[in-house]
Amino acid sequence: MEPVLATLIPKRFRRYRQISRILLRHGFGFLLEQATPCWIPRRRRAAVAPPPAQHLRLALEELGPTFIKLGQVLSTRPDLVPPPFVTELARLQDRVPPFPSQRARHQIEEELGTPLEESFATFEEAPLAAASLSQVHAATLHSGEEVVVKVQRPGIEETVATDLEILRQLAQLAEERLPVAELYDLRGIVEEFAHTLRGEMDFRREGHHAERFRRNFAGKRYLHIPRVYWELTTHRVLTLERIRGLKIDDIAALDAAGLDRHQVALHATEIVMQEVFQDGFFHADTHPGNFFVLPGNVIAAVDFGMVGRLSRSLREQLVGLLTVAVRLDADGLAEHLLRMSLVGQGVDRDGLRRDLERLMQMYAGRPLKEIRAGEIIEEAMPIAFRRRLRLPAELWLLGKMLGMLEGVGTQLDPDFNPFLVARPYASRLLQEAVSPAALAQRAAAALEDWGELLLDLPTAAPTLVSRLHRGDFSLGVELRRTEAPLAVLDTLSLRLALGILVAVGVVVAALFLRLLLVPGTWWSWLIVGIGAAILLTLLVALFWTLRRIE
């Protein structure tokens, strides 16, 4: 254990020094003065004005893979980062040279446990693409199938682990020392980012994402998902079917190939609408380089390391949000956003409504097909940041994906209206939400909760009745006016007693109705009788207490 610590501590210290030098060079010395440990070098820490967003992007690119990924994640969170920085961070690129092919061969052989020649008939030494976490090589199987092999960059896991630990410590120090950090859960943000990054580095998870998309779109001929070769896939190596197609935003190439751009735009929108409203599972790494067009106007998607998930309740809330937005209802939009926000306290509701009203007025009277989601999102970003709306991260990923779809769709077909494609999906989701089956499922869940409460009631009832007789209920009430405190307390006590009686009565009635629907549960009648007896006892205690008050 001691040799391990002896090697890790100096490396972490050197990394701290490197981070400090880079941040100082880009004008972030004022942050280091307040947020770094006392043993970090402080030379050249002149207090300077906050640098422009471009300096932050350049600093993150220089800091390496972990910080590049952090910047890319923050570019999807306009509720955490000011709009100019969001725009600049979206330009972050992995300007990392490829690592030697010999190291890639060694990594593949070590992971697969066999010589490279036994796994692949051919293997191209020059990578097709290189990124901060991995690089991709073309290969051919012995069966003749063309594949791409994604190989994790050697040593990257150790580097990322060190950087994440440093980020955790810096987040903790910032929350303790920087007043502005009180507005954000920095440690929670770092942990969420660490979870996302670790998942992206597990190539098996990316393979499972691809398989799930294949299952969700089974029978849909307009989308092609590359096959995963599991026998040649591990934690650090991913082997996929090679896709040869035209980039979806290469308009000249699409026209030269005789492809129908309107059909391509229609298929792209169908894919997104199914992912969002039907499956709740969408491709979140949204840039045109991950989508290709094959013969027959078929779209092929690649790179499934980053995905988004939408629960059914969140999808239903999203439909409600879109409905009030289309109606230009600023009050309704504010209420929906506040219900969806993770932080409800400290939000200026009136200010939020005013901001949304001004935003809605910008689009009043315009035809629906002329309203661009990308423009709305860009206008909404300052509002979310200024009013401290902490919306779920999935919604911002979804907004980014819709913005990409809209931009590509406009290039493919300027007259294409994605709202016409979205309408049936949204209507179907709303119909399912109010269907008898869905309502019955919710009622059953509520009835089960009431049943559990009833089963706990016999244990709690003696204590409840005893405390009611003694009159020692504790009420957290602050009396700001003391003209008639006794009358106020009497009223509160009466309302509390009536509330308890109503709750018990509802529980007994609910269980009684359930017994009528489920015959043969004779033993449950005993529980109903006990509940009725408790209700009667509470009534007697209430009348006795009221007589004492009189």
CA–CA gap between residue 363 and residue 17 (Å, rounded): 50
Task: Report the relative pairing of strands 223-224 and 298-301 from DSSP bridges.
Answer: parallel
- 140 in helix, strand or coil? strand
CA–CA gap between residue 8 and residue 115 (Å, rounded): 32
CA–CA gap between residue 301 and residue 294 (Å, rounded): 11
CA–CA gap between residue 425 and residue 278 (Å, rounded): 7
What is the enclosing helix (H) or strand (E) of 301? Answer: strand 298-301
CA–CA gap between residue 334 and residue 245 (Å, rounded): 44
Q: % helix / strand / coil in the chain, to the nearest 5?
A: 65, 10, 30
- Which long-range CB contacts under 8 A does 141-144 form with residues at least 24 apart? 141/229
**For the chain, how far is it from start to end, CA to CA, in angstroms?**
75
Catalytic residue among 163, 285, 303, 355: 285
Cβ-count burial 514-533 (b if 16+ within 10 Å, e if not): bbeeeeeeeebeebbeebee
What is the enclosing helix (H) or strand (E) of 263? Answer: helix 261-273
CA–CA gap between residue 231 and residue 239 (Å, rounded): 9
DSSP string, 20-76: HHHHHHTT-HHHHHHHS-TTS--TT----PPPPHHHHHHHHHHH-HHHHHHHHHHTT
**Could you tell me the two tokens for 527?**
């529980």
The greatest distance separating any two alpha carbons of the chain, rounded to the nearest whole angstrom, comes to 96
Neighbours of 118 (CB within 10 A): 11
- Contact between residue 479 and residue 486 where contact means Cβ atoms under 8 Å apart: no
Apex 316 CA angle, 311 and 320, nearest 5: 145
249 is catalytic: no
- Residue 25 contacts by C-beta under 8 Å, 6 or more apart in sequence? 59
Task: List, by residue number, the catalytic residues.
Answer: 285
